[in-house]
Amino acid sequence: MHVPVVGDVLQAKAPAAECVIEVARRPGAQLVEVAVRERGNQRQREGRAMRTVYSRIRVVSAAIGLAVSVGQPVYAADVTVITPSLLPPRDGYLQCDVNATSPTPIGIVAVIKTRSGADVTDFGNGFRASPAATGGSYYAEESAGSLSNKARYCEVTVTGAQTNDVHVTFKACKTAADGSSKCTNPIQVQ
């Protein structure tokens, strides 16, 4: 079934049915509105009532399918960020820090990789906060680091957020004798 987009509303005419299905997702809203409008006079001939019932069942099924498919289109795709390469300092490490916000729950996987693509992540941690804690949207942080001298770049995959809401910082760090870290060359990717 071809589904034309009219403004922010998808419209579909159910085959063999006397109605139009409209599925609308308002900007910033998480809910989808579904409307079924009747077209014309449905009961002009005798025996048509049963076909109308079956047609309405198909229409309701199509409406549910459209609502599910339109319900999360903006946040459905994963966002993948690959940072430019950095060389780790001698006796140091590379660290990748990620944060994201979204009206839907967020998943973040951050890994440090070698030039050949091998995962050399040695450590990491994360933090998540719900809208009840942040006052409106989900928030997530993830850090990953590698002590390997072959580490070169960070690859981040985020689910549930848009590209503009994902922030990545990749940096080379060295630990001082007192245990503090000094990071240089931060690369920020948005």
**Segment holding 134, helix H or strand E:** helix 131-134
How far apart, in whole angstroms, are the C-alpha atoms of residue 151 and residue 68?
A: 42
Burial class (CB in 10 A: 0-12, 13-18, 19+), 137: middle
Q: Quickly state the pLDDT bin for 91 (edges 50, 70, 90).
A: confident
pLDDT of the residue at 190: 75
| Residue that is written with structure tokens 């995962």 in the block | 119
Q: What is the 3-state secondary structure (H, E, C) of 49-110?
A: HHHHHHHHHHHHHHHHHHHHHHHCCCCCCCEEEECCCCCCCCCEEEEEEEEEEECCCCEEEE
| pLDDT, tens digit, 9 for 90 and up, residues 24-35 | 555 555 445 555
pLDDT of the residue at 43: 45
Contact 69, 102 (CB under 8 A): no
How far apart, in whole angstroms, are the C-alpha atoms of residue 37 and residue 63?
A: 11
| pLDDT, tens digit, 9 for 90 and up, residues 92-143 | 999 999 999 999 999 999 999 999 999 999 999 999 999 999 989 999 999 9
